[in-house]
Amino acid sequence: MRIALDAMGTNEAPRSEVAGAIQALQELGGDLEIVLVGDEALIRAELANHPVIPKGLHIRHAPDRVTSADPPASVIRRKPDSSIVVGLRMHKEGDVDAFVSAGSTGAVMASSLFTLRPLPGVDRPPVGTMLPTAGELCLLLDAGANIGCKPHHLVQFAHLGSVYARDAMGRENPRIGLLNIGEEPGKGDELTIAAYDLLSVEPGINFVGNVEGRDIVTGDCDVIVCDGFIGNVLLKFYESVAGYIIGLLRHELDAVEDRKVDLEHVFRVLDYAEYGGAPLLGLGGISIICHGASPPKAIRNALAVAARAVGSEFVKHSAEDLQS
């Protein structure tokens, strides 16, 4: 199995990418190979800081780099030699089995969509995000790729989320919830009322009904589907509110304790770096987007998620599910 890793994506690229790739090769084992895609000289210079380079690490030179100033939709045409476009092309051509990038979210989404194409039956491929809950992680779909969804889009998200939860998250009969403002059927806006009716009778998914804002963190769902507008607001709100509350607590704890209390575990539970990036679903390939601020561990975890999606044949299962 070979995964292309955009080496130029993080804010301190290629440092996090090189360290994360080495960690992944050391820890994940199997037949994993990783291709670092980016400026070869910079990658080699960074590799020189590592005493041991594990087998299976390769470099593919890509001289150009996408920046946040590049309009996402133009990257394919205007930066064909960028690490994002080169890596995705390698995936398209079968040279690698998946693509991971911490570059501009918009550019990775647009370029993935253009290069890997939606699977038949997918109108608007969604991006997922993993939310920490009191139970296991919950996949929120869509987290911002699709604004102004129609009810049947949410049904497609439910199918893709089901397959992903089985293949990449190890859930047996994934529970699918619909983000809404009331528990009962008939509650909600135009979109969710209609989506509820469709989801209730849709074969092949385990629809558990409406999920209110207060139910997200309970862990009673494996997948929550929603329009990308609210998904994006929620995702960003969750990240920031976790930091805010922990800040409040840290302040209090510092005031009352001589020594600092170890909040490491709590940070870890709420740390997005633990959860391996945001997968794009419904494409003819695997593309995972990481935070621009990803530390090596986040890159390593995104590579692990990509490897799991490849090994479980997520794309093939998605295509089969959508055909049936």
Q: What 3-state DSSP class applies to 218?
A: helix
Partner residues linked to 37 by β-bridges: 6, 60
**Which of 45, 269 has the CB closer to its own copies?**
269
139: left (phi over 0), alpha (psi -120 to 50) or beta: beta
Taking the C-alpha atoms of residue 299 and residue 160, their distance in angstroms, rounded to an integer, is: 24
| Token pair for 93 | 């051509």
Q: Give min distance, CB of 253 to its own copies, in A.
A: 6
Nearer to its own copies, 7 or 127 (CB): 127
Interaction mask 119-158, its own copies, x per CB under 8 A = --------------xx---------x--xx----------
The yes or no reply on residue 74 touching its own copies (CB under 8 A) is no
Q: What are residue 125's phi and psi, to 5 degrees?
A: -55, 130
Chain centroid to Cα 109, Å, comes to 11
H or E element: which one contains 57? strand 57-61
CA-CA-CA-CA torsion sign (302, 307, 313, 316): positive
Provide the mask over 238-277, with x wherever binding to its own copies is found by CB under 8 A and - wherever it is not. Answer: xxxxx-xxxxxx--xx--xx---xxx-xx--xx-------
- Distance CA(59)–CA(5), nearest Å, equals 9
95 or 252: whose CB is closer to its own copies?
A: 252
Nearer to its own copies, 229 or 275 (CB): 229
Q: Provide the mask over 163-202, with x wherever binding to its own copies is found by CB under 8 A and - wherever it is not.
A: ----------------xxx------xxx-x----------
Binder among 215, 273, 309, 310 for its own copies (CB under 8 A): 215
Distances (CA, A) of 69 to 73, 84, 100, 106, 314: 12, 15, 21, 11, 33
Cβ proximity to its own copies: between 34 and 139 the closer is 139
Please say which residue, 216 or 319, places its beta carbon nearer to its own copies. Answer: 216
Instruction: Return phi, psi of residue 283, to 5°.
Output: -105, 165
Contacting residues toward its own copies, per CB under 8 A: 133-134, 144, 147-148, 179-181, 188-190, 192, 212-218, 227-230, 232-242, 244-249, 252-253, 256-257, 261-263, 265-266, 269-270
